[in-house]
Amino acid sequence: MKKNTWINIGFQAGALVLALLLTTLLLVAAGAPPFKAYASIVSGAFGKVGNVENILITWSPLLLTTAGVLITFAAGLWNIGIEGQMAVGAIFTTGMLRMLQHSSMSPALIIILGILAGILGGAIWAVLAGLLKIFGGVNEIFGGLGLNFVATALTIYLVFGPWKRPGVGSMSGTQPFDQKLWLPSLPHTELSLWALGLSLLVIVIVYFLLRGTHFGLRLKAVGKNPKAALLMGIPTWQYSIFAFLLCGAFAGLAGAIQVVSVYHRLLPNISNGYGFLGLLVAMLINYQAIWAAPIAFFFAAVNIGSVQLQIIYKLDSSFAGVLQDLLVLLVLLGEGARQRFLRKN
């Protein structure tokens, strides 16, 4: 037992070292001094208070999407449609705010209704993927991908069509909302403690839901072996749909937050890859909710820190993605190698 612990740590450390080695080689290949580049990522992430605030702004939607896919993964589902769910959430929020912005309702109430609409929108889009899977026989990966495209088309249509800025529609999005419809944030930043608090609350709820409740246990049973779960009397398809619904609701909330607290308008690419990044985080932490918050924070820090690379070394900002992807890839491969090693010995 003791020996295995060391083997496990060895393989995980090996995967991390290998991932860093690879990204270092890539930096060299791109003509940047690697150690200075890493240092500039760190200073770009933590050098100024404003940068840390940006990390927290990025952390919030990433926490939500990670929390969402932890639920669908527990149910054995690959909710690749999460990007679209986040976008539809943002669309619903924008729609609600547009509808009520000139009414006499109190701004706080409008914001709350907007966020609820976003949650609803995300949930609807996710349940659609679930219905396609269960009643249409369409694998959730393909249905989800298709729905992502539809959500993108819908967003673009709204931004350039019915909701376009007075004059001409543009990629910079719809007309920003009046400041009274912004989620209250810290002074001189888009960082809203409300958004951050909600996101942290969600990840804590998901942690306890999956760990300590009857529901979580049954959900995992559905994910591990649906046939056995059905024989045990668990209504499997209802559980699957509910997993989609919860994940979509969290993704929708993430989309709503982007609208009411970060951009204050609808953008063509409002989901910004947070859904896929959430899937990556969930894989990297081996679906253990306890690690979601720190690893999502780390990913957010890498994203913000890498902005510096673009400014100083003219490198593409996709370096953050490269680092994250290779890390997850090598951890997956390392896990496979570890299992193989243990089987052989």
Partner 1 sequence: METNTILIGLAGVLAAAAPVLFAVLGETITERAGIINLSMNGSILLAAMGGFAVAYRTQSLVLGFLAGMLIGMLVAFIVAFSSITLHQSQVAVGFVLALAGRDLAYFLGVPYMNTPGPVLKILPIPLLKNIPILGPLFFQQNLMTYLSYILIILIWLYIFRTRPGLMLRGIGERPAAAYVRGANVNRLRYLYTILGGALIGLAGPAFTLNVKAGWMGTQTGLDGIGWIALSITIFGGWNPFRAAFGAYLFSFLQWLGLILQSKLPGIPTQVLQVAPFPLMILTLLLVNISDAEWVQRMLASLPEGTRRVVARLLRALRASPPASLGVPFESE
Q: Give the residue among 269, 299, 271, 272 at the shortest CA–CA distance from 283.
A: 299
Among 251, 280, 289, 293, binds partner 1 (CB under 8 A): 280
> Is residue 147 at the binding interface for partner 1, with CB under 8 A as the rule?
yes
In angstroms, what is the minimal distance from the CB of 230 to partner 1? 12
In angstroms, what is the minimal distance from the CB of 329 to partner 1? 5
In angstroms, what is the minimal distance from the CB of 94 to partner 1? 17
- State the Cα–Cα distance between residues 260 and 256, nearest whole angstrom: 6
> Is residue 293 at the binding interface for partner 1, with CB under 8 A as the rule?
no
Output 280 or 304, the one with its CB closest to partner 1. 280
CA distances from 204 to 62, 89, 200, 211, 345 (A): 14, 22, 6, 11, 39
Instruction: Identify residues 250-269 at the interface with partner 1 (CB under 8 A).
Output: 268
> Is residue 4 a contact partner of residue 342, using CB atoms and an 8 Å limit?
yes
Q: Give the residue among 332, 271, 323 at the shortest CA–CA distance from 21.
A: 323
Q: Is the dihedral of CA 251, 83, 255, 298 positive or negative?
A: positive
Q: Can you give 261-325 as a three-state secondary structure string? A: HHHCCCCCCCCCCHHHHHHHHHHHCCCCHHHHHHHHHHHHHHHHHHHHHHHHHCCCCCHHHHHHH
- State the Cα–Cα distance between residues 76 and 214, nearest whole angstrom: 17
Binding segment toward partner 1, per CB under 8 A, in 25-33, 44-52, 63-71, 114-122: 25-33
Binding segment toward partner 1, per CB under 8 A, in 38-46, 62-70, 99-107, 308-316: 308-316
> Is residue 172 at the binding interface for partner 1, with CB under 8 A as the rule?
no
- For residue 212, the tally of other CB atoms under 10 A from its CB is 10
Binding segment toward partner 1, per CB under 8 A, in 51-59, 61-69, 255-263, 277-285: 277-285
Among 116, 134, 200, 204, binds partner 1 (CB under 8 A): 134
Instruction: Identify residues 207-236 at the interface with partner 1 (CB under 8 A).
Output: none
Instruction: Identify residues 80-99 at the interface with partner 1 (CB under 8 A).
Output: 80
> Is residue 325 at the binding interface for partner 1, with CB under 8 A as the rule?
yes
Q: Which class for 24: exposed (0-12), middle (13-18), buried (19 or more C-beta within 10 A)?
A: middle
> Is residue 161 at the binding interface for partner 1, with CB under 8 A as the rule?
yes
Query: DSSP letters of 229-240?
Result: HHHTT--HHHHH
> Is residue 126 at the binding interface for partner 1, with CB under 8 A as the rule?
no
Q: Using CB under 8 A, list all residues that contact partner 1.
A: 26, 29-30, 78, 80, 132, 134-139, 141-143, 145-150, 152-153, 156-157, 160-161, 169, 268, 276, 279-280, 283, 314-316, 318-319, 321-322, 325-326, 328-329, 332-333, 335-337, 339-340
